[in-house]
Every structure is written in C-alpha cells, then in structure tokens.
Amino acid sequence: MARAVSSRRKWTFTILAWALAFLIFFPILWTILTSFKTEGDAAAIPPKFLFFDWTFENYGIVQERSNYFKFAMNSVILALGSTFFALIIAIPSAWGMAFSPGKRTKDLLMWMLSTKMMPPVGALIPIYLIFRDFGLLDTRGGLIAVLMLLNLPIIIWMLYTYFKEIPAEILEASRMDGASVWKELVYVLTPMAIPGIASTILLNVILAWNEAFWTLALTTKDAAPLPQFIASYSSPEGLFWAKLSAASTMAIAPILVLGWFAQKQLVRGLTFGAVK
C-alpha cells in the first residue's frame, strides 16, 4: 500500500517536473527547430512543430550573409585568450595565497572580489576614451585585456578554493625530500591542481563567451564576437526568423554543451565557494 502511494507520488512529481522543464527549455527548443524551417514555415500560423520541410539552408545563408565564422573565431580567440592570460597571473597568485598565507591574505581576497562589484558603467567612459586614444577600439587585444581583468577575481577565487583543498602535508613531504620550489610546483602541485584549473577554464570561457556589455560597447566589426553578431539581427528585414534562429543556434550551441558539463563548477565559481 505504502509502495503504491509512493509510486503515485513519484509519477506525479515526474510529470510535473518534465512539464515545467519543457516549458523553461521551450524557447531554446523552438529556436533550434525553427532554424531548420523555411522562412515560410517559420512564420506559419498555426506553428509547425515537427512536420515541415527540414532544411539546412538557413545555416548556409547566415554564414554567407553575415560571416558567422569570423565572429565565432573572434569569440573563440577572446574567450581562450582572456582565460589564458588571466591564468598566467592568477595561478601564481592563488598558489601564493593558498600555501603561504599572510595576515592580510583574507583581506586581499575580499578586496579582489570587491573589484568585481564595480558596475561596468562606472568604468565605461574612461575605458572607451582610453581605447579610442590608443587605437584599441574594435581590436581583439584590447578586448582580451578587458575580459581578462573582468574575470580575474573569479578565476583567482576559484583556483584559491581548489588549491586550499590540496593537503599541505604532501607539500611538506616533498620539501623534506629536498624538492625545490620549482620542482614542487611542477611535479607535485600542478598534477593535483589540474582538475581545479580545468574547471576554472571552463567557467571562464563561458563567462567570456556570453559577456555582452563590454563587447557591445567596445567593438563594431573587426574584433566583434558573437553577441555583436546576434545584435546585428535586431533590425528585421522581411521574413528572417529562420535565419535568426540559425544564427542564434550557432551562437549558443558550443557554450550550451560546455555549460552542461560545467554545472558543478559554475555553482562553486559564481558563489565564490559559498555553496559547493
């Protein structure tokens, strides 16, 4: 009897959860479906769900008309470039704070975090003018620097919480064995830190990929990544939903896949270790 009740309960919850999940996921699903329709089918009333002439032509048209790959390439370069440079200075910092903490380490961490609280509009005008005067507007280099600094506090924090979990005894043991600091770093610390570093990279790539405020303000054409590419579709010309959908699908697909893998790290990174 009890089993029957709990099984009914299970089914009720299952159906409810699936219905809600479907509702939340629907805009994405609908975008993906629409990207395979002809423009006529995309605007059809009543909407066509699965029974339409499936076509790939929108992807070709979008690539041809607005050069998707150029924008995608910029997105990849910006995301990976900013992550790479941030890691170069963040790994030593996090290492230093985690393994030889001083009296001020905690204050330093909190201060780093506080830079993240600065609203971008507070820095927009000077950065825009500096970029203009130094010819950095619409360049990848300039944007990589901004994205790197933007996410540096999160990267340092994440690495710090991961490094903190590496037991100090292991390091002491290697020191007893006479390992130099350099050897300690390369042979002991790095292998143990790789999972944490990988998660950090994943999270940062997602954040950099989706960053819209700075990319919309500082790029126009040459260095413009995908958010700018999509924004160019905001002035409609005739029937364009299927093409918009194809463009959107191409812009979000890579990060959706990465994001699904990175759920746990995301929680940890975005709450600065407050929720694990």
Site for other proteins in 45-64 (CB under 8 A): 45-47
Question: Minimum CB separation from other proteins for residue 154, in Å?
Answer: 11
Residues 161 to 220 in contact with other proteins, rule: CB under 8 A: 168, 172, 181, 206, 209-210, 212-213, 216-217
DSSP character string of 20-85: HHHHHHHHHHHHHHHTTS-HHHHT-SSPPSS-S----HHHHHHHHHH-HHHHHHHHHHHHHHHHHH
Inter-residue contact 39 to 244 (CB < 8 Å): no
Residue 83 lies near other proteins (rule: CB under 8 A)? no
67 vs 114 by CB, closer to other proteins: 114
Closer residue to other proteins (CB): 21 or 198: 21
Indicate the burial class of 14 (C-beta count within 10 angstroms; 0-12, 13-18, 19 or more): exposed
Q: Is the dihedral of CA 59, 64, 70, 75 positive or negative?
A: negative
Taking contact as CB under 8 A, which single stretch among the options 52-60, 76-84, 187-195, 264-272 is the one that binds other proteins? 264-272
By CB under 8 A, tell whether 32 contacts other proteins: no
Q: Of the listed pieces 64-72, 76-84, 145-153, 195-203, which binds other proteins according to CB under 8 A?
A: 145-153
Regarding 89 and contact with other proteins (CB under 8 A), the answer is yes
| Among 48, 76, 66, 19, CA closest to 248 | 66
Cis, peptide link before residue 236, omega less than 30° from 0? no
Site string for other proteins, 232-261 (x = CB under 8 A): -xx-x----x--xx--x--xx--xx-xxx-
